Structure 1
């Protein structure tokens, strides 16, 4: 590769994204520097298109590189049949094809990832804010926590240094102690070259392949099949990379949990890999024997114009596993099909590609839907409660008042099980509840339909209460309300009268009416328990999905609620401050003005603080960037000049004005929490820093 290939990529970026990439934050810089920013941001947008095809405008809008990007340059959210994938991109441009990515970049990316997992969205700049509602929705998906892929978009051909790769994998492993939630991918100059030029980017792939125990089909078209060793497949990918997948339906690899399981099998049970894998299908323009080849034995073949059309996940996972631990993975073998297109009719290759990629995978849940326990439960819902119970995937879900589904029931039973471990299992990945041992614990031999329905109603009531609470929560508290629904349902259930749950005459609705109060107490005690047991810097998501941690937290929370004392008060940084703290609001502005901490003319960004504000204001803010911007003036009464109308306001007065315009309803808030100086913090943070510095200086004088 050379600077010639770099120019192809640069030309593609300029043709696709000129005038679409936001450069307003660097418009005062020299033209050459601005163009460098454009190319870096354009590379991030190109990576987004490579991973998840979209229009040029959508790709450009995904970029938020700049001040307060927290080591990330772009984001995309993709909902697939196997779950939701959030991709976080970091791009490094180089005119010479030597984009640098070192340990400092690893630490920055991980910092950004941690903020996103903790739902600390206001730490990011205004261009990131437009994506928050979609990211937030992904984390609230009842089907499980999304997979997160860190995409390194590096204009280089050299691999990552061993030190950088080791550090990156070590940092990622910290998030994967419960399950494989985070992974990374590398896009380099070869990948971008192919993305921009398609099949013209490189000559067709010719490769040799050894098939063990091979067989063949001769009619109506020629095909071979047999076993290939893992080292051979890994070498094939290492040499040709994504060029192998030129004919695949998707431009990028599917990053579902299947990929993770493939790697896990190779590293832990390599000799069983052939039995557990669905194999790989390759199309070839021609297949020629490279020596003597007798069916049933070992045959060497020369493949011309080869492309993997099914099993891209398997190929990439084999490469990554072999790269991570060749000693463990080298004993693995995989079934490979080779289909020759030499004598096939036009379009047959496309038919193979489409049909091998559109078969619906069978999941454990599908088998359980045929289980006698489930069909009996379905009939009981219909005959005893006149309600619908949906078993199979793809069937329309009933309105909440008219019934439920097998997945919602599984969540409710997991949350209300005496052992909090099952709440963690269901929260980690709902697919795991269909494993025989977990399934038996939750459903038993013959579940009572009335008990099941009442537990579903409890789960819904708790979730409704948490949704209400979210409107006024920040940071970790907001994360607790999002991730902690099953844990809080578990704690709440322990406080209700449940001994007569199967009695039709028992007034369960009376218990449900207590949920608003009990669930809030359970929420506050659970959050307190996580902070006390694991510190305020721990991840909420880890506490509710780790069996050991959730048991400890549940014990503390249940004891706290049961003792009947006042629940611990939420920390002030867990909730937005309202008009009750007007004195502190005025003092913060006065502190900043008197100290001269912020120079006149400094640009400030508005960032919504709560889920409610993001939901009602994100669209309105995105319509005109001036709505999110203000300039600072050292005036103690009205220090903000709003770019949208040119008028001067106090921080709270301007937030109230914006809410009124956007929603028709103003609210009293602490405005210094919402206005941020990029790369420095909110007005509230800056005022607190000034006070701290002043106190330190006073102490030194004493």
Structure 2
């Protein structure tokens, strides 16, 4: 005992208090089985070092002592990382390095920080097997968080000393943070010293209860049995003040804290600011539990009359996102919220069973909810696509969740169709947006892509072929990934949509909605290029972003994806092996493609002028001004070429009908251009009709005469 006392002589009081607190909190939680042969003094140093790492995890990640102890991975093969903590709900990762000093003089030098950063880089490259056994239970959670749209990584460095980091160490961290955040801000770091730990051990363990005031206007209702409950409305600005005063303490009993500015929460903010008087109609309101309610009437003491309710120990168990969105809107424009009302259900638990609060919380947070995809089933266009699938392809097109999914060869669902069309779209930004938030496929407001994908109603054949190409590319990537390591494997695993998008750009959309075998042959040739696309993408990623960038974030950044796709396509155009395709004649019994049919029968003479005529009102409105500036933009000359029969008057180059429509859309910079291109319906022969109409008439005449224009 005297030796222990002597060992503490000269140690600052704060350090002694920290030492005692760490011993009390983690004595029975930390694992020391890997150091059985050390002396008691050496084992204590290992314990205190690990306890400091655990306490750091507890402070920065707001977890319990037991959870913090489980986060400690200190030992051989920890690669400079002493503790790991992951929050699956917020996709946050905390990586911790801690250094103990019995005298309170610890410092983290450049060598320790270099080792720490190198360990971080190995996690980014998914080199989990290089870490020790203590890390392995965290591998799946780390992997899931690294691939989440809302990923944040916090580097926490702790040293039991008054000084922070050496100058060299700070420089290393700053440079590393700049490299990791080159696409967007993702990584931050924090240092904890003696003052931080001493302050933490002096804080009270329990926060003060959140007590709030709810002002109910005319028309509220109260049920006294079986439990006292008030139903009414409060103004949004009053609700904002609850959050302003108490923050996350309001949600301690909720199943989740506010999720940040998700698409749903952003929509709530917009509604509050733009239509505050209508917000009540579009929001489900909030449920609040409290220990007691004290009433203060403004005038007459009667139900329904204006009253102010004082809620003791209030907690919002349903509606955390609403409260956070209200506060966000209040910070932007407080005056607007005075007009917005929020429905509230206030339940007093005085005299209620002890498990009532838990049962209410579970019930209000596990009810079925409507997903954004579900609204697509209400779109008449989708029902027409379903019919097209059945009639044209004899396949199933499933619209609603809960319907039985078709076998892979028998059809697809609307979600797979939307994703395939997004991959096929000329702008890689759609793939990046999907990686940020999959609901973007179903949003119709600005920034959403549903109208682009389905607004001009792509044919069942275009959708089915797009789905098949996406599936084939993904199938090709699976065995490729198994044979790769490190960064290449990460790209194969997580850039499948970007690889598919590049494949779609290589194959092109010409003829995708035309019956026949030509596009099928191009599909097979394109699928064989999957490994080349992957290898080129890996090379371009390294060239543009270095060896240790956050790939998941790059694949969600619109500009990064655009630049990468352009670079890969340029590289493959100049250096990759070309895969020529030979057009095939349509097989007997199938409707032949429009252009080959017209060329074969010589229906249009060389030199005939055609006019571009937009198909939809949206197309006409978007392109009218640009087309009208230069009349030649409307015009093309026909030549009897079965692949590229149109010569554009603007540049004298040869195009397919669909290819020239796409070129016009690109030149006009039509940002909201649709995924479906009906090229044969967009080119009009004056006095005769569109190319599609001419081909249909030719087929009808042939059928009447008993001939098959598509036969050999």
Match of 2:73 in 1: 64
Q: Quick one: distance in 2 between partners of 1:272 and 1:114?
A: 47
Q: Quick check: 122-131 or 548-557, which moved more?
A: 122-131
The 3 A distance-change label for structure 1 pair 189 and 40 is: closer
**How far is 1:558 from its partner?**
1.7
Match of 1:416 in 2: 424
Q: Quick one: distance in 1 between partners of 2:519 and 2:360?
A: 56
**How far is 1:448 from its partner?**
1.2
Q: Quick one: distance in 1 between partners of 2:60 and 2:380?
A: 46
Q: 2:316 aligns with which of 282, 291, 308?
A: 308
Match of 2:686 in 1: none
Secondary structure, counterpart of 2:563 in structure 1: helix
Match of 2:677 in 1: none
Q: 2:295 aligns with which of 289, 292, 295?
A: 289
**How far is 1:527 from its partner?**
3.1
**How far is 1:342 from its partner?**
4.0
Instruction: Give the alignment's TM-score, normalised by structure 2.
Output: 0.58
Q: Quick one: distance in 2 between partners of 1:280 and 1:191?
A: 36
5+ residue gaps, structure 1, are: 161-167, 568-702
Q: Quick one: distance in 2 between partners of 1:316 and 1:246?
A: 14
**How far is 1:263 from its partner?**
8.2
**How far is 1:410 from its partner?**
1.7
Secondary structure, counterpart of 1:74 in structure 2: strand
Q: How many residues align?
A: 532
The 3 A distance-change label for structure 1 pair 281 and 446 is: same
Q: Quick one: distance in 1 between partners of 2:474 and 2:356?
A: 50
Bigger relative contact order (CA 8 A; separation at least 6): 1
Q: 1:391 aligns with which of 379, 399, 402?
A: 399
RMSD of the TM alignment (CA)?
5.7
Secondary structure, counterpart of 1:502 in structure 2: coil
Match of 1:447 in 2: 458
Match of 1:688 in 2: none
The 3 A distance-change label for structure 1 pair 136 and 149 is: closer
Match of 1:490 in 2: 501
Is residue 128 from structure 1 mapped to residue 147 from structure 2 by the alignment?
no
Q: Quick one: distance in 2 between partners of 1:132 and 1:484?
A: 20
Q: Quick one: distance in 1 between partners of 2:331 and 2:525?
A: 57
Instruction: Give the alignment's TM-score, normalised by structure 1.
Output: 0.59
1:386-430, CA deviations, whole angstroms, 9 ceiling, x for partnerless residues?
Answer: 444333345564443343332222221111112222222223322
1:211-265, CA deviations, whole angstroms, 9 ceiling, x for partnerless residues?
Answer: 3747632125331541244662244325xx54x44543x3xx3464666974897
The 3 A distance-change label for structure 1 pair 114 and 258 is: farther
5+ residue gaps, structure 2, are: 1-13, 165-172, 579-712
**How far is 1:288 from its partner?**
0.9
**How far is 1:171 from its partner?**
10
Secondary structure, counterpart of 1:514 in structure 2: helix
The 3 A distance-change label for structure 1 pair 117 and 439 is: farther
- Equivalent residues in 2 for 1:324-473 (5 A)? 335=342, 337-342=345-350, 348-393=356-401, 397-436=405-444, 437-473=448-484
Whether the 8 Å contact between 1:13 and 1:46 is mirrored in structure 2 is: no
Q: Quick one: distance in 1 between partners of 2:517 and 2:561?
A: 31
- Equivalent residues in 2 for 1:600-611 (5 A)? none
Q: 1:207 aligns with which of 203, 206, 211?
A: 211
Is residue 73 from structure 1 mapped to residue 83 from structure 2 by the alignment?
yes
**How far is 1:170 from its partner?**
13
**How far is 1:316 from its partner?**
6.6
Q: Quick one: distance in 2 between partners of 1:110 and 1:177?
A: 16
Whether the 8 Å contact between 2:390 and 2:396 is mirrored in structure 1 is: yes
Q: Quick one: distance in 2 between partners of 1:560 and 1:530?
A: 13
**How far is 1:538 from its partner?**
4.5
1:152-193, CA deviations, whole angstroms, 9 ceiling, x for partnerless residues?
Answer: 79999xxx9xxxxxxx99999998998897899999999999
Whether the 8 Å contact between 2:541 and 2:564 is mirrored in structure 1 is: yes
Whether the 8 Å contact between 1:266 and 1:273 is mirrored in structure 2 is: no
Q: Quick one: distance in 1 between partners of 2:456 and 2:407?
A: 28
Q: Quick one: distance in 2 between partners of 1:438 and 1:217?
A: 43
